[in-house]
Structure 1
Amino acid sequence: MKKLVFLLLTFVFAFGIERSFLPPNEAFKESFETNNNSLIINLELGKDIYLYADKVSVKIKKPEQFDLTKELNIKEPVPYEEFIVHFYNLEIEVPFSLLKSKVDAKEYEIEFNFQGCSKAGLCYAPMTKTTVVKIPENVVAKTTVSSVDNIDSTDLNETDTIASSLKDGNFFIVLITFFGFGLLLSLTPCVFPMIPILSSIIVKAGQNEKLTAKKGFFLSLVYVLAMSLAYTIAGVIAGIFGANLQVALQNPYVLTVFAAIFVALAFSMFGYFKLELPQSLQNKINKTTEGREKQGVFGIAVMGFLSALIVGPCVAPPLAGALVYIGQTGDAILGGAALFVMSLGMGLPLLLIGLGAGKFMPKPGGWMETITKIFGIVMLAIAIWMLDRVLEATIVMYLWALLLLGSAIYLKVYEHILIKLITLVILIYGVIVFVGAVSGATNVLNPLEKFTSGKTIAMQQNELVFKSVKNITQLEEAIKSSNKPVMLDFYADWCVSCKELEEITFKDEQVIQKLKGFTLLRADVTANNQDDKDLQKRFNIVGPPGLIFWDKNKKEINAAKIVGYKNPKEFLEIVNKHF
């Protein structure tokens, strides 16, 4: 009788446990998708389910058998108990060009293998899923385009090194390090446009009341915290989902709207109207004793958030390293924290500006009105600077000329000798820029470039010539046909650092001489379409600028990969080391 009861209890217990586990079709939900260039394998894991890393494989079964696993970009696994596992959903891209390089066929049977377990203790049997893929006729065999996950640790570039330090470093040391990265980035063009924006906000706040150092610092802190929050959210989204929010917002419609906002702010500073929240919202906020102050804080926070996303979409090695780490591990907590403290480091100069402005700001009165109007002109300059990413260079030159001439006329009403002198200089330069625009010049800092004909012809003869590539197929064909080392430049019209590379680094004589021995390719990702995204994803480029190199044997030199702006000296140090 006791044995019978024991067996019955064992059966009930086992049945109850079994019922608590997910069935295989819920624990593992696989799907196959195709685009113009690749097969995408998606595997969605159920709650508390993980995969054994060594059991994940992708193979060609027909027309011939090949194991593709080591040549694919698969998220890096993590240690768990005594195993190496994947805890997160997998998205594996299988390029058609890779299939073609193994066996030349029009149709392939692809096999996807995996095995996983539940944290509760149940291990599922190994599973195999297959699909048949038909590829377009224009696909060519894959050249050597490596993935970061398959690169030896001794061959890391700057971005990969930073991503690796996130994996291996102490949490607090990582945060301190990224704060230091932020301080360095604060000296780059990423932050420069935010200085006049914040300064104008502080000037506006000081129009009607005395601005103390404490108040100036507080306003700056609100702006910097909102900016840091935006960078963090955009970074985590880019790392996990592969969608760079900052890049997505660099389209003509968004930039035009934001430029219009700066124009409205400028005319508000000129005194033509007053920008305020809707009356209904003001009434709700003003029910508290600090209503007016909260309105200002809210507006500053919104401006800080939007400025980070739209005004300064810079990509630098620390940012790229954090995004690569988040994308490979799914660890949004450490990656997001690193991005947040990095953004605080970037915002430190802005905090100092707020503190200084609050201490040295003139008292409300005539001087304050003059400063406010000058910052209105600065707001118009920022609007033109943003439209430079959307409009033709010649049109932008005319806008700069009109702004300079208009500013000179506008400031002429002031009698102070210093302002009169500044007005005269602005007027003369405005005339020069207008003449330059008529001549076809495109650089506001060098408006008379067309009149120095001898120098211009010499420079044109010595300029670097890039061949455009639109997608992965064109890139691979260009690499395959080259008998020289290859450099691929990821560029976008809205990318400030890209233009720095173009105007400074790529116009340096030593750099030009070095790159004359390369096949130069350029992927213009301004449109951010699917081909652009596929190209960037192939090389873990989260946004331009990015430079990828191959040697004469068509082998990608990962250690030479450059993300972000490098001056001529830094650029040559990297290239000379590998070529």
Structure 2
Amino acid sequence: MKNLILAVFLIISSVTVMESQDVEPVTWEVSVSEISKNEFNIIIQGNLLDDWHLFSQFTDEGGSLPAKLNFINSGENYQLIGPTTEGDTFKAYNDIFNVEETYFINEARFTQRVKLLNTDVRQISVILSYQVCNEVCLNKEKQFNIGLDGGNATMDTVVLDEKSEVFSKALRLDLKNKQLLQSSATPLSNDSSLWKIFVLGFLGGLVALLTPCVFPMIPLTVSYFTKQSGSKVKSTMNAMTYGLFIFLIYLALSIPFHFLDSVNPEILNTISTNVWLNIAFFLIFVVFAFSFFGYFELTLPHSWSNKMDSSSNIGGILGIFFMALTLALVSFSCTGPILGSLLAGSLSADGGAMELTAGMGGFGIALAMPFALFALFPKLLVSLPKSGSWLNTVKVVLGFIELGMAFKFLSNADLVSHWGLLKREVFIGIWIILFVLSALYFLGIVRFPHKKRKKLSFGNIATGIIIGGIIIYLSSGLQKNAPLTLLSGFPPPSFYSLYDQEYDCPLGLDCFKDFDEGYAYAKAKDKPILLDFTGWACVNCRKMEENVWSIPKIHQILKNDFVLISLYVDDRKPLGKLSEFNYKVSDTHLKLINTVGDKWATFQSINFKTSSQPYYVTLNPNLELLNQPIQYSGIEEYYLWLKRSLDKTNY
């Protein structure tokens, strides 16, 4: 079980340093060997720095990322003869991922034979993606433009093929009134959104205090600080320093994502909607849930916590820091799921790294304040309730919460991939079952391996009745198009339903999911456009649709006065070989656009210089901006924004 936890954290750590480091652990050389007039061997060789290793194309699945070579336009101007062969590799068993990995040390060598189908072709372009690791892992991508005359090879200016050039140009709009974009860099309600995330993080920290992993740390804290001798001023300073270190440790978890956001503005949305990452979170949270139910214990390796605990015996500020780190590590099995919910829920382009920092900050403060107080006033411990069956109850409640969140992650993967497994009614039904089981637990009917309660208390009965009310509320959401306002954004959208045979548009509105089709319709009907950048896994997008768009006066405007074009930036539906293309990000970097989401995310980034969702733009058929774009907002604000946009049209 510990290996599973470590694997997830290594994956996330690998993602957080992706292309954010200045380290260049591999230097590349390219050469060409002529076999005949039409056949060549292309050799790509990398020299690795000491202590670094690069993973093979053929390393086992489920471990580190394999190298991949993408030969641009192969099959059109030339064909690949056989697979890409490799030089000497090494194998080692990775006990974190439980797979045998294949990798290069010192030198990585790839050789591919090609046969020209068009003898006029004198250059072949190859994109090499690879993962290289020492203590950290870096995901890298290099493009090689290889000349076949004399074996010349470069890694400089990228030249797009004709198809990619045409498709790339089609993504760019000739917008008018672009000055309106400059005033819409941040959502109008950004500050309140950050405060909401901070409060949620703070509440999560308070919940963590009641968990059976954190609560027993209080006597340890008291014991440590009662041994510290010194004046009242020094004791106060030590306690404040302890609280500050706890806060900073949790806040530091969000720092790498700020670098990620600056490297690639779409990366946070890509991570949060990644199918395999969401499935991984689903599995991890199921494991956490059954651990909370008492079927097994889930802890970090004892060597980690023991080492930190021994380090905390060092005196002074360093000892206090290690004491704070000990708290963070020992309590991980309970705080991890809460932090995981916050982490995965904030990793979106809506607010990205800032929302994550706000949430982590709130969590850290909530956890730090009580421990700082107990460090300052050890006698406060006397007033605390003793550990007992109430802690087991907290664990079981957390277990049901973890299962509910697990299916949210699985729903994200289902939505972006269009599997159709967790339609809205199925998702709500699963949550109803979880609440029924939790109610039966409080009523003493369902039991877990924890110690049995001696009698059914009034509090348990009252809690069971309250949960029954929640079950009735959830059951109302099983009807067709029935809103669940209190949970808006969490269940799948109402149009992703068992009642409908295919995906439709929100609230029964007519919409287009392709810009070109919607734009052609708007021009033919001479109507203004509402461009809706959204996502299948975007919680705030669902809240806007269910809580704002559903208001009659707004719904009527959307239905009658605008051509609605909804572009899903996280849609993983493949474009197909005929429609996929390369977009030139820089002189040395091509981005492969091979899914619907890739296309519309790039379209948004190119034309509107943002990657946030929801993001709303009003245009007339001449591509003039009618108003500054708007993001997540309230009912009246959004209504007035729509009216002001209409006032600037002649329709």
| Paired residues for 1:485-564 under 5 Å | 485-515=528-558, 516-527=560-571, 529=595, 530-538=598-606, 539-551=608-620, 553-557=622-626, 559-563=627-631
User: What is the deviation of 1:140?
Assistant: 11
Q: How has the CA–CA distance of structure 1 residues 361 and 273 changed in structure 2, closer, same or farther, with 3 Å as cutoff?
A: farther
Q: How has the CA–CA distance of structure 1 residues 288 and 143 changed in structure 2, closer, same or farther, with 3 Å as cutoff?
A: closer
2:192 maps to 184
Q: How has the CA–CA distance of structure 1 residues 477 and 309 changed in structure 2, closer, same or farther, with 3 Å as cutoff?
A: farther
| Paired residues for 1:260-279 under 5 Å | 260-278=283-301
User: What is the deviation of 1:426?
Assistant: 1.5
- Higher share in helix: 1
RMSD over aligned CA atoms reads 4.5
Q: How has the CA–CA distance of structure 1 residues 466 and 199 changed in structure 2, closer, same or farther, with 3 Å as cutoff?
A: farther
Return the match for 1:419 from 457, 460, 464. Answer: 460
Q: How has the CA–CA distance of structure 1 residues 237 and 307 changed in structure 2, closer, same or farther, with 3 Å as cutoff?
A: farther
Gaps of 5+ in 2: 1-70, 74-156, 222-238, 314-321, 374-382, 415-421, 445-452, 488-498, 573-594, 647-651
Which piece of structure 1 moves more, 488-497 or 192-201?
192-201
1:399 maps to 430
Alignment TM-score, normalising by the size of structure 2: 0.51
Q: How has the CA–CA distance of structure 1 residues 522 and 545 changed in structure 2, closer, same or farther, with 3 Å as cutoff?
A: same
Return the match for 2:520 from 455, 469, 477. Answer: 477
2:644 maps to 577
Return the match for 1:203 from 202, 210, 222. Answer: 210
Q: How has the CA–CA distance of structure 1 residues 185 and 234 changed in structure 2, closer, same or farther, with 3 Å as cutoff?
A: farther
User: What is the deviation of 1:494?
Assistant: 1.0
2:249 maps to 222
Q: How far apart in 1 are the matches of 2:243 and 2:294? A: 22
Contact map agreement 1:203 1:372 (CA 8 A) in 2: no
Question: Aligned letter for 2:184?
Answer: T
Q: How far apart in 2 are the matches of 1:511 and 1:534? A: 29
Equivalent pairs, count: 393
Q: How far apart in 1 are the matches of 2:218 and 2:403? A: 26
User: What is the deviation of 1:293?
Assistant: 6.2
| Paired residues for 1:409-448 under 5 Å | 409-413=440-444, 415-427=456-468, 429-430=470-471, 433=474, 437=478
Q: How far apart in 2 are the matches of 1:224 and 1:135? A: 42
Q: How far apart in 2 are the matches of 1:432 and 1:181? A: 29
2:29 maps to none
Question: Aligned letter for 2:175?
Answer: S
SS in 2 for 1:560: coil
| Paired residues for 1:156-195 under 5 Å | 156=181, 158-160=183-185, 184-188=192-196, 190=197, 194=201
SS in 2 for 1:513: helix
Q: How far apart in 1 are the matches of 2:182 and 2:539? A: 22
| Paired residues for 1:332-481 under 5 Å | 344-345=357-358, 347-354=360-367, 362-389=385-412, 390=414, 391-413=422-444, 415-427=456-468, 429-430=470-471, 433=474, 437=478, 463=507, 465-470=509-514, 473-481=516-524
**Does residue 1:247 correspond to 2:260, yes or no?**
no
Contact map agreement 1:140 1:473 (CA 8 A) in 2: no
Contact map agreement 2:250 2:361 (CA 8 A) in 1: no
SS in 1 for 2:217: coil
SS in 2 for 1:206: coil
Contact map agreement 2:246 2:367 (CA 8 A) in 1: yes
Q: How far apart in 2 are the matches of 1:132 and 1:408? A: 62
Q: How far apart in 2 are the matches of 1:129 and 1:159? A: 32
Identity of aligned residues (%): 19
Gaps of 5+ in 1: 1-32, 36-127, 164-179, 321-338, 448-455
Deviations 1:13-52 (A, max 9, x none): xxxxxxxxxxxxxxxxxxxx999xxxxxxxxxxxxxxxxx
Deviations 1:85-115 (A, max 9, x none): xxxxxxxxxxxxxxxxxxxxxxxxxxxxxxx
Q: How far apart in 1 are the matches of 2:362 and 2:457? A: 31
